[in-house]
Each structure stands twice: as C-alpha cells, then as structure tokens.
Structure 1
Amino acid sequence: MDNDDDLEILGEQLYTRIFHIHSENAGKLTGMLLELPVLVLRRLLQDEAMLATAVEKAVKALHVDMHQETRKEEDNDSMSSDSLGEQLFELVDIYNTGYSQKITGMLLEQDKEAVLKLLSDPKQLEEQLNAALKTLQQQRVEETNVSDASDPEDNEGLGEKLFLQVEELDKLHAHEITGMLLEMDADVLRQLLRERTMLEAAVHKAQAALST
C-alpha cells in the first residue's frame, strides 16, 4: 500500500475516534497526530490509553499554539534546536513511562543527526527509550536504598516542579535544561527549588553548555 494512502486511512480512523471526544477541534488534533511516525499511529489505534494520552497532549499543544501564535518568529536557530527537543518529548511522553522529561534530556545528549534519526525511526526510539528507562529505574533503586523511603516527594515530582520554574527563565530550552539539572542529587534539586538565585545560576550554566 502506498504510504500516502496508508496515512490517509490512518487519518480517517483517528479522526473518527477523536471526533467522539473533541468534535470541535477533531480536524486540527488529527492533523497534529498525523505528524507522528506511521508505526506510532498504528499503535495509538490499537491502544486506547495511549491514544487518550496522545490526544490530551495534542489538546494542550493546540491551546498553547493559539495563545503564542504571534511569538513564533523569534530566533529561528534556537527555535529549530528546541523544536527537536519538543518533538522528541512528545514522542517519549506518549509511552507514559513517568520519566518523560529525564529520558528526553538523556536522548538529547546525542548529536542532532542521531536525534533526527530517533524522530523518524520509532523502533530505534523505543529501543533507546527502554534502555534509558532501565538505567533510570536502576538509579531509582540505588537512590531509594540510601535515601529516606518515607519522603513522599520523588524525583519525578521534583522534575515537574523544576520544569515549571525553568520554563519561566528559558521557555525555549526548558525541556533540555530540566533534563540536565535532573542529573543532580535530589537534595540539590530541592535547594534549587527553594533558592531562586541558585536556580538562575544553574540555568545559566546549562544554557552555556547548550550553546557550545
């Protein structure tokens, strides 16, 4: 089957599913999801939970696009770099690992060509995602063995709070910078959340590393 015909059929199936939930923006949401690789689209149609998550992310992205339409002409070079991070994050987030930000940061440590390969090759993306997830889970076990197990604020919770503050300082590179900062110890992350000046210094350092 021709790729265009295959994509058209997948688009019709996606539109039918999405229309029942978001009839008003079904066309736009379907168009956004059709930017994903064909293999991922087929998986979405087979997995209701994964489809629901993808649609929810698309809805949020659509709202952001509507509010920020006039700002898209800023710094094309930075935008192109951050765009890769955003596209990769959206694909990683579909898998609902609970470590989306950190895994994205780990994958973005590769060169640009390798990241572009991940965006176009869902099989390779899934392999690297699983490898990164395994590494993070092992680290989590090791950290749990030496930390206070009664602490309700885990690393993912810290990551979410950290991302919100980093986004205020550098919206374009928030995902990448947060991923870099999450390599720090949990105690240091908590201190960054408490002390704004310390967070700003850490963000500036990460920005300098990204620009090299």
Structure 2
Amino acid sequence: MDTDEDLEALGEKLYDLIRPKHADMAPKLTGMLLELPGAVVGQMLQDEELLAEALDRALAALQPDDSKPPSRADDADSASSDSLGERLHDLVELHNTGQTQKITGMLLEQKKEAVLQLLSDPTLLEEKVQTALKTLQDCGQVRQETDVSDSSDRDEAEEIGETLFRLVQDMEPVHCADVTGMLLEMDPQTLQQIVSDRAMLEVAVQRAKSALEGALSPPQQRKD
C-alpha cells in the first residue's frame, strides 16, 4: 500500500474477515496475506472465494508435514523435500504471477536452508518471486514473443493483403490488384485501420485510383 495508514486499514478489514473462521491464527494469516501486493489484497476483500482460496494455501504452507512417521534417512529426506516444494508452491501461488510452477522450480534449485528461509520470510519470498518472474519475462517470454513474431509476420501480412484485396475488389473490380498493391505500401497500423473502417478504405481506394489513372493516362501536349 502507499501509506502505513492504508496498510493498517486494510489489515483491519482483512483481520475482521479472517477471525470468525480462524480465530487462533487470524493475526498470522492476516500478516501473511498483507505481504501480497495491495491490489491482490483489495480484490480478496471483495471476493470471498478468492480470500478462502488464499487462506487455504496459507494454512497449508504453515502446517508441518506430519503425514509420515520418521523412517530411514533417505525416505525422510525425500518426504521433507516434497513437503518443502508443496509449501513453497502454495506460497508462490498467492502472488498470482501466472508462472507458479516455473518460479517454484527455480526457487527449489537453492539449498534447503535457503528454501526454509523463504518459507519463514514473506518479504524475502516476494523479492525472490519478483526476481524470478523478471528473469522469466526477460529470458523466456520475451524471446518467445520475438520468435512468434518472426514466424508470424509474413503470415499476418499475407492475411491482411488477402482481406484488403477482397474489400478493394468490391469497390474497384477493374484495377483491384493495382490499387491493393498501392495500399499495401502503407504502414501496418494504417492498413489495420483502413481494413476495419469502411469510410477510410473508400477514401484510400479513391486516392489510389486517382493516382493510378494519372500514371496510366498519356501526357497531354500543351497547345501554344
């Protein structure tokens, strides 16, 4: 939030909603949820289902893994690792990044002690989540968007050209190919506009037709 007063007011509202169902853990749960971005917390106050889901995840992250009794060291280490991964996944999911699985996997690459620290320090976890998200955006998603753009630019241009040709053919069947070729010299943004705006297209076609007729007509000889 922007100010301490806003944060306090938000915390009071959140606490009032949590206390009836989780009286003993209301302060802890409220503190955990207040570590989330203000916009997310505000949405929780308006959406009971979203709040309930966030509380379930927070509770799951707080509860130790007592489902398995101690056994051999290898089994205990495996169970502990699985538990850490599940708890970290639940906490990361609270941040609504849309990349929970990938970010959790990145954070689990750290040593066990570092992961335990993330589970107990919401502020540190938020910093690590944001850093991981930026890394995914810079090194993954942006490159993917570039690859998609490189592979689809030609298809998109062909699609616009075909659409434009059909529209021009209805208006100017005789010189539709030449007029379409002239219009395709425009920048992509302008092409998108004229394809979706009939009035703009009519003006553009008329101008192209006039320019074409002027180019095709023989020069007039001046009479002295």
Output the TM-score relative to the length of structure 2: 0.44
Bigger Rg, structure 1 or 2: 2
Output the TM-score relative to the length of structure 1: 0.46
Bigger relative contact order, structure 1 or 2 (CA pairs below 8 A, ≥6 apart): 1
